[in-house]
Structure 1
């Protein structure tokens, strides 16, 4: 067991019971207080993007989908490319700070916290290729690692690098409309045979869905079968 919580750095206190001696326990990496602040998505969610439907106004829900996904699917430029996204947690203020610490302050070890949860979700989705959303060369140099690839590595899973990122302005600085109307931001690595393959894209946050749809569109046009996404959080 780790001695200190990887989030708040408080000492972890192990509670000894008979079950401690007779069962194999997962290594504890975060304290109960921090664990409670991670909000898993439960209940009804949009069947494309995982947005919790019970947390938004009813006027923005159309059947089993949020209005954003209805707009994406009604747009002939984007219709049918992304089969769905599974997000695990809500992007609340606590997780926002943790992801910022992970991505922008280089605290790589935080990937370990989410590894087993992501691994379990990936197993349910039965993909032929696990594809981390790539960073541009410049952005990866700045950060020192790709956060999506770090999740896979810490889960003991193999990344397949089907895509390369074309350098551009950070997505976080763009509005929803700007993101939707961007030219293609990825290019395909031609060394892989993807015809008919089921592909799972891995990223940290689903915000507007633009990044994932750019990737899915490129892969589908190259002959891929279904393209899904798994993201740690849904904003």
Structure 2
């Protein structure tokens, strides 16, 4: 298996020339796309709630990554954390549910950032919800987010009774988006709903 599929780091553009180690050769399921120097700048998030898992803190390196991935439309960056995402989700028995984008917003962004993270990690997922507002939570104050009207609706013909879900989003800030989605699934009969995000703001 290849150690790298790109010749230069997707984040800093430096050559991917770190020496091989047993860890990099045996523990990574995918070829590396960023250098070790960039990887070390991402800070793991220390989870205290089993129902709400996040991988990394929202530090300056992550802020820069998210800006280029979501707002500069750099879809290749979906591959950066694919190993870590797959490692946390691949053995889960729950249904993986992706937080959806509004169709107009997806057209503007050119791709769904949550879907692409899961596709890059080779994780099967479903989208039982649809977004009914184009308002961005990122543009709101904390108080405005906490008082947000309904964000999602259940898609037609969804049989959720007694099913368990893990809802996946890119970032958890106040929890408003995930809590709205979680509430709808539980109201529709889901047995349990936990959440998973790449980032905790």
The TM-score, its normalising length taken from structure 1, stands at 0.77
Residue 222 of structure 1 corresponds to 188
1:31 aligns with 2:28: no
1:193 aligns with 2:159: yes
Q: After TM superposition, give the deviation of residue 14 of structure 1 in Å.
A: 4.0
Q: After TM superposition, give the deviation of residue 124 of structure 1 in Å.
A: 5.1
Once residues 16 and 177 of structure 1 are traced to their aligned partners in structure 2, the CA distance between those partners, rounded to angstroms, is 49
Q: What are the residue-to-residue correspondences of 1:1-235 with 2, within 5 Å?
A: 1=4, 2-16=6-20, 26-42=30-46, 45-47=47-49, 84-123=51-90, 125-127=92-94, 129-235=95-201
Q: After TM superposition, give the deviation of residue 208 of structure 1 in Å.
A: 0.2
The answer to whether the 8 A contact 2:105-2:134 is kept is: no
Secondary structure of 1:9's partner? Answer: coil
Q: Which runs of 5+ in 1 are unaligned?
A: 49-83
Q: Which runs of 5+ in 2 are unaligned?
A: none
Once residues 162 and 188 of structure 2 are traced to their aligned partners in structure 1, the CA distance between those partners, rounded to angstroms, is 10
Secondary structure of 1:37's partner? Answer: coil
Once residues 152 and 23 of structure 1 are traced to their aligned partners in structure 2, the CA distance between those partners, rounded to angstroms, is 22
Once residues 146 and 124 of structure 1 are traced to their aligned partners in structure 2, the CA distance between those partners, rounded to angstroms, is 24
The answer to whether the 8 A contact 2:129-2:153 is kept is: yes
Q: After TM superposition, give the deviation of residue 159 of structure 1 in Å.
A: 2.2
Q: In the comparison of the two structures, how many residue pairs are matched?
A: 195
Q: After TM superposition, give the deviation of residue 168 of structure 1 in Å.
A: 3.2
Bigger Rg over Cα? 1
- Relative distance call for 1:124 and 1:158 in structure 2 (3 A) is closer
The answer to whether the 8 A contact 2:89-2:123 is kept is: no
Secondary structure of 1:160's partner? Answer: coil
CA RMSD of aligned residues (A): 2.0
Return structure 1 stretches of 4+ with deviation > 4 angstroms.
22-26
Secondary structure of 2:40's partner? Answer: helix
